[in-house]
Structure 1
Amino acid sequence: MIVKWLKQSNSEEYDISDFVSTITWSGSVGQASRQLEITVIYSPIEKNIQEINISIGDRLKLLTDGGALLIDTMVYSRERKSEQGTVQYSSYDDLNRLLKSSGTYIFKNTTPEAIVRTVCNDLQVGIGRLVETKVPVKKMLVDSENIYNIIMKAYTKAYQSTGKKYMPLMIGRKLNVIEKGDIVTGFLLQDDYNITSSSYSESLDSMINKVRIYNDKGNQIGEVKTDEWINKYGIFQGAYTKEDGVNQTTAAKNMLTGINQEASIEALGNTACISGYGVQIRDSLTGLWGKFWIDTDTHTWQNGVYTMSLDLTFKNLMDIQEVEA
């Protein structure tokens, strides 16, 4: 892997791959922003070791050996450990600025795509490809809210209308919003080939098997349910209030949630396996067989070995934000 350091003071870029002992590249659906951590060899006593003094605000890039960019980040923290002779740098892509910024807006007669353009322009964050939902947002008021949450509220409205799931993703320094859940092509996780360990669990904690639909006056106007789940586990009820421009039945059905199934995999690494994407698995030890979605991923390069740790879900889930009717 190639690690490059862009020094803000002189805008010069340096290849520091030879001085990096450990690389950790990670992300999760809930965290949104992806992170890059590197450990750099440091020894003020040993004159043969070149000093790499990366400052807060400098940028770090991680590229494949073929030169494909995986992440472009800004350094947020550094920690020097004298007993180990190393400095650890933690950096995040520019989606982190959306997570750490807030704003107040009144959106009327617009679309999720237009809302993204407005908030990104205010923060001078570049915009890449935004999936065109064309879902009308009649009115959305936000008061001192997190910018990332504003974006996800807008796309939650789209999800409630279309049933499609959406995910923001930084490509380079540009924010993209894509349909969530594409499967990593041409790749299979298999217990007798690239899986080193695995685990599997089930839980009833998130069950919703009946949703009552209400109008803005609090009167029930509809209902969706899953009789099979109700007969087996009893009623776990949710409520949905009808919104303008949103299909009430689709929105209520999207709230139905069955048994929560989770799995984790340790395996040889593949850079295409990142949060929000799906993978094919054949693991006879846990019985994991079929298509799963990555909720959290951690990729590590150390001592010439590339491994990854994946937390998986059995459903393609979106980061849903509560939206007022």
Structure 2
Amino acid sequence: MELSIYYSSPPLTTAEQQRLDEARKNSAPHTEPDVMRDITHYVTTTTWSGDADQAARKLSFEVAYNTTKNDRTFTPLNMEIGGFIYAFYAEDDAAAPVEIFCGRIFYRKRNTSQFTYSFVAYDDMIYLAKSRVQLIFSNVTVTDVIKQTCAEIGIPVADDILQIPTVVNFIADGKSCTEIFRMLQDKTRADTANYPLAGLDFTVVCLLDKVTIVQKGTVIEGYIASDAVNVDHTEHSQSIESMVNRVKAVDSVGRVCQVFTVNDDVMHYGMIQSIYKMQPPRQGETVDNVKAAKEKLKQMREESSLEGLGNIQCITGYSIVVQEEQLKGTFFIKSDTHRFADNVHTMSLTLEYMPDTPTAPVIEQQDVAEPVFKSAGRGKQPTYSATGTLNVEQGLNAGWSAWGGQTMDNGRNGCAEAVGKIGGYYSPFLAQEANNGVVSVPSMVADADSAGLLQDFDAGSLEAGDAIVYGDDDHVVIYDGNGGYYGNSSSKMITVHSRDYMDVGMTPTKIIKASRG
């Protein structure tokens, strides 16, 4: 086994470049930047690791370090934060080295008592994890979202990246790139329409300097982890200490509205119950209370791990076949740690069992009552008195402040009522509709037509404050100017602010130009 580590200086700042140019011009003593300097003979220990929850792969290593003051024969390394680190691995002297890591130094620490310098470098996924973006995705595939997100931060994507056909629509409002990737994972797992990639699970990884997608269950070919050959020992644990097998969902007045139960687990292990407090929509997003309540259900927890001789292909995102006394089958690598010391390569893997036929728990859902939400601190609903005199931005803010998160008088059928009450702060037309008690979408559409404010739907002509009509005058909301809407949720029976005007499940057909009248 042979591991080689190389270092290259970070790009010079403008001031550093000017000083170097000046020194060259004056023939003054100067130090040229390092270009792929072999530092292997300085390195004492190296750890190469990855984790499904941490995105970036990490290379941690220590180098021998001293000063000429203490040892005149020692030439110390000068490796800077931001410098590039490259690692090459060869199985034996006859094998050609393979590059397994390239990244930048993010951390260094000197220990004078032990005469060492410690460094930590990360691959380019670290920039995707630390960077936040503002992007709008409309009718694009999951793969294209990943490409656009990486392009925003300047990270290249592999040419042969897996094409995932799931189509998504959402706004990434100040989210990190890796948060977007997790959203894409949820949306892809929920997709049942795109066979054979329906319900696909995947991991976004950086292989050397390019981002790609690894489909969960991609098995490393030609490798079997076996206690007869390359596994020192394994561990496997089971626990129900964190189990929850019944969840009661309660609304803001304390009523139980829904109950979710895994009856098999209740029967086998006993009842362990939790409470989920149903949430009204938060500013800028809707809340799926059913999904959130189900996520509180926890089954038996199983953890597996193995330690043995290292294989550089065994990294997070891929799967391996294990044939050992207590672990048999295919396992997904959730995290990996490879150690290189004294010409020995060992690894520790945290594993998740992947059965040939995955099974999901059967969850019984009982609907007990319709939830009621009351806006905290708002007390009684305000008496309507708006006259449409504010500008659109001020009016939307005032309308949402007064009526956001409220239950309309018409409950689940309160969409026109909500549009009139919220929009009446900036639109004279909507103020008149609200004051006249118009709560029917067809009536509002007819009045808008008479007022010369109605037109066929065209996304290009949407402006903040316009009302979007869906279907055959079936539903109406207010466009927020950023791809989302303010409107009434029939299922939640409150007004909501959603980020995507297409998530109502109907086709937009008309626009009421309330922004102009």
Whole-Å Cα distance in 2 between the matches of residues 5 and 53 of structure 1?
A: 10
Show the 5 A alignment for 1:94-105.
94-105=124-135
Number of matched residues?
A: 301
Whole-Å Cα distance in 1 between the matches of residues 108 and 226 of structure 2?
A: 37
SS of 1:197's equivalent?
strand
1:265 aligns to 2:267 (yes or no): no
Whole-Å Cα distance in 1 between the matches of residues 162 and 343 of structure 2?
A: 38
SS of 2:36's equivalent?
strand
1:282 counterpart (323, 348, 354): 323
* 8 Å contact kept, 1:2–1:64: yes
Q: Normalised by the size of structure 2, how large is the TM-score?
A: 0.52
Whole-Å Cα distance in 2 between the matches of residues 120 and 238 of structure 1?
A: 39
Q: What letter matches 2:162 in structure 1?
A: V
Whole-Å Cα distance in 2 between the matches of residues 165 and 134 of structure 1?
A: 13
Whole-Å Cα distance in 1 between the matches of residues 215 and 295 of structure 2?
A: 16
Offset at residue 189 of structure 1 (A)? 2.1
Change in CA separation of 1:104 and 1:207 when aligned onto 2, cut-off 3 Å: farther
Offset at residue 121 of structure 1 (A)? 1.3
1:120 counterpart (133, 150, 154): 150
Counterpart of 1:178?
214
Whole-Å Cα distance in 2 between the matches of residues 238 and 273 of structure 1?
A: 40
Offset at residue 160 of structure 1 (A)? 1.3
Offset at residue 256 of structure 1 (A)? 8.7
* 8 Å contact kept, 1:163–1:254: no
> Deviation string for 1:123-177 (max 9, x for gaps)?
1111114311111113x12221111111221232122112111111111211112
More strand by share: 1
Q: What letter matches 1:183 in structure 2?
A: V
1:135 aligns to 2:166 (yes or no): yes
Offset at residue 226 of structure 1 (A)? 7.0
* 8 Å contact kept, 1:276–1:295: yes
Counterpart of 2:346?
307
Offset at residue 191 of structure 1 (A)? 2.5
Whole-Å Cα distance in 2 between the matches of residues 194 and 156 of structure 1?
A: 36
Q: Normalised by the size of structure 1, how large is the TM-score?
A: 0.81
Q: What letter matches 2:154 in structure 1?
A: Q
2:56 counterpart (26, 29, 33): 33
Counterpart of 2:384?
none
SS of 2:80's equivalent?
coil
Q: What letter matches 1:133 in structure 2?
A: I
Counterpart of 1:202?
238
Counterpart of 1:47?
72
* 8 Å contact kept, 2:334–2:350: yes
The unaligned stretches of length 5 or more in structure 2 are: 12-32, 91-95, 192-197, 249-258, 277-293, 359-498, 504-517
Offset at residue 59 of structure 1 (A)? 0.7
* 8 Å contact kept, 1:208–1:238: no
Per mean C-alpha deviation after superposition, the further-off stretch among 196-205 and 94-103 is 196-205
SS of 1:130's equivalent?
coil
**Which structure has the bigger radius of gyration?**
2
Counterpart of 1:110?
140
Change in CA separation of 1:155 and 1:11 when aligned onto 2, cut-off 3 Å: farther
Offset at residue 231 of structure 1 (A)? 4.1
Change in CA separation of 1:178 and 1:198 when aligned onto 2, cut-off 3 Å: closer
Change in CA separation of 1:254 and 1:165 when aligned onto 2, cut-off 3 Å: farther
Change in CA separation of 1:144 and 1:130 when aligned onto 2, cut-off 3 Å: same
Offset at residue 202 of structure 1 (A)? 0.8
Show the 5 A alignment for 1:86-101.
86-101=116-131
Per mean C-alpha deviation after superposition, the further-off stretch among 78-87 and 186-195 is 186-195
Q: What letter matches 2:125 in structure 1?
A: L
Whole-Å Cα distance in 2 between the matches of residues 290 and 224 of structure 1?
A: 32
Whole-Å Cα distance in 2 between the matches of residues 289 and 108 of structure 1?
A: 44
Whole-Å Cα distance in 2 between the matches of residues 306 and 238 of structure 1?
A: 48
Whole-Å Cα distance in 1 between the matches of residues 34 and 190 of structure 2?
A: 45
Change in CA separation of 1:155 and 1:264 when aligned onto 2, cut-off 3 Å: closer
Whole-Å Cα distance in 1 between the matches of residues 296 and 59 of structure 2?
A: 34
Q: What letter matches 2:42 in structure 1?
A: F
Show the 5 A alignment for 1:13-24.
13-24=36-47
Q: What letter matches 1:289 in structure 2?
A: K
Q: What letter matches 2:127 in structure 1?
A: R
Whole-Å Cα distance in 2 between the matches of residues 132 and 157 of structure 1?
A: 15
Counterpart of 2:110?
80
CA RMSD in angstroms, aligned pairs only = 3.5
Q: What letter matches 1:281 in structure 2?
A: V
1:8 aligns to 2:44 (yes or no): no
Q: Sequence identity, in percent?
A: 26
Q: What letter matches 2:352 in structure 1?
A: T
